[in-house]
Structure 1
């Protein structure tokens, strides 16, 4: 691996006191930053001795990470069956946020909007939508889905939008991808109107799948830097100026082919599973499964 690596402090408490829980597996970066990909390639995973958060350390520089996302392929996101699954997941997230917040109209921002399926659904409900993502290909596709949305290519940061300009903000599997997740939430809190709500989805290190998978947990990917539990995520949101309202497990809807391709770390098992699904003509069947994810809803008082 020829890219420059840097060491970082704990994303939650800022301390530099940790123990290794999973050694690095840095075989290849090829396709590792494509969208809708869970690569078995990952950094060394450590656990902070002070707050208990797990995170990747050392990691690629932020510049290298952004460059890899910029050119990430979106092929998997736009396949007919995968797109059908993604739309089901995005509908579930938006509907749950609306149910918790009671907000039925207004302005919604999706951080890390990817190919724009969440924005497409929210826009169809009547929301004025905006989104941002570092992926050039993803943003182009998102703009094709929501032609009158404010969809931008680049890094999410302060100064992009007026403060207190959004009623709802969604952040779906993003905070685990960034070096400074606190900055994401703090900036979101500034962009929210008083009484606005934020919805965060990420992997859950306290999930039953994480516990039985151990070091083979699917979340251990080179795309991921921070690894959260419900308690740590709520703590971070509160420290960033939001009031956590609820944390719960997420269902994920994908095809059986997707689960086989991304759920097996063993190439032999993956090949066998895909072969069996093809023979039985079951690969495109959708299944909703608690895939070790969680979601947090929080409001700005």
Structure 2
């Protein structure tokens, strides 16, 4: 019986078995365990931090040079992906409109680029060395640090806002990460976490075909509102709001879950087009139940 990493219950159960759709390897599969008590999920077998790096292809974050050129030319600002970054900015600024901000696992830093440099002192941490170097060379008034949240270049009690945009589920030590986050935030500082909702209708309906599972084994953990709130409280972070943010991202996840299901059961995408009207109806069920595919939790340092 598997022990839950959050509540330490021995009531772990097999939720489903999945394959890596980003970097598939023949004969390799992964089990998703679920705690029957708190609803937390985790991927097994558990990989070492060194081993998991082998599952990140060099193209995982896209072409950084191309993205920087598009930003500097203004082309990026007209794109759909930029709209997503502005949605995040608007969300943060509903709660705090200026200060020092840290984006954890920032990739090429697009979210930080979208923030007004007159209002924000912008810092990101990212493990991809080449990405960090290129961004620091090309983008002014922005600091990217190679490494992770535990870098000694990040002073404690210094950030007004810390963000994890679909990053926490990738990190091997969520307890240590949240403890460190508390230390880096100023008293009353804000924490924004977005990730797939393991308690969603999408996860329950699509099971192994759920789009969020495409990124296993890079998704080490699978969060839902209750276990995430338990962890945050344990490390002095008070939940202010659970939001089911960004209908656009939720719709994207629903669409590709349906495509995964169609290809697995029928060998083609054709049935997806037959069931496509469900993409219009299903969000209504999610709204009524409150169990959207994506979760954003907003919390504060509580001391």
TM-score (norm 2): 0.75
Q: Within 1, Cα distance between the matches of 2:91 and 2:44?
A: 34
The one of 142, 145, 156 equivalent to 1:149 is 142
Q: 1:165 Cα deviation (Å)?
A: 0.7
Say if 1:86 and 1:253, in contact at 8 Å, map to a contact too.
no
Residue 46 to residue 96, structure 1, CA distance change in 2 (3 Å): same
**TM-score normalised according to structure 1 size:** 0.75
Match of 1:224 in 2: 219
- In the alignment, the residues of structure 2 paired with residue 236 and residue 218 of structure 1 have an alpha-carbon distance, to the nearest angstrom, of 25
Deviations 1:194-218 (A, max 9, x none): 1110100011122222232223211
The equivalent of 1:242 in structure 2 is: 237
Which residue is 1:65 aligned to?
A: 52
Structure 2, gaps ≥5 residues long: 274-282, 287-291
2:162 aligned with 1:169, yes or no?
yes
Establish whether residue 300 from structure 1 lines up as the match of residue 287 from structure 2.
Answer: no
Local SS of the residue matching 2:207: helix
Deviation at 1:171, TM superposition (A): 0.7
8 Å CA contact 2:23–2:57 kept in 1: the answer is no
CA offsets, 1:2-23, max 9 Å, x none? Answer: xxxxxx9633235665221112
Deviation for aligned residue 1:85: 2.6
The match for 2:16 is 22
RMSD: 3.6
From 56, 63, 71, the counterpart of 2:43:
56
What is the CA–CA distance in structure 1 between the aligned matches of 2:176 and 2:93, rounded to whole Å?
24
Distance 1:82 1:105 in 2: 21
**Could you tell me which residue of structure 2 aligns to residue 190 of structure 1?**
183
- Structure 2 CA distance for aligned equivalents of residues 90 and 125 of structure 1: 18
**Cα deviation code 1:83-131 (max 9, x no counterpart):** 823322222122212213xx22211000010121110012446201000
What are the ranges of 5 or more consecutive residues in structure 1 without an aligned counterpart? 1-7, 33-40, 275-287
Please name the residue that 2:259 is paired with: 264
* Secondary structure of residue in 2 paired with 1:169: strand
Q: Provide Cα deviations, 1:213-232, integer angstroms capped at 9, x if missing partner.
A: 22321111322111111111
CA distance in 1, matches of 2:13, 2:228: 20
Question: What secondary structure, in the 3-state scheme, does the structure 2 residue paired with 1:23 have?
Answer: strand
The offset of 1:28, in angstroms, is 7.6
**Number of equivalenced pairs:** 271
How far the C-alpha of 1:49 sits from its partner, in A, is 4.5
Alignment of 1:197-212 (within 5 A): 197-212=190-205
Please give the per-residue CA displacement for 1:43-63, whole angstroms capped at 9, x wherever unaligned: 211113553311101133211
- The partner residue of 1:99 within 94, 97, 106 is 94
Partner in structure 2 of residue 283 of structure 1: none
Higher helix share: 2
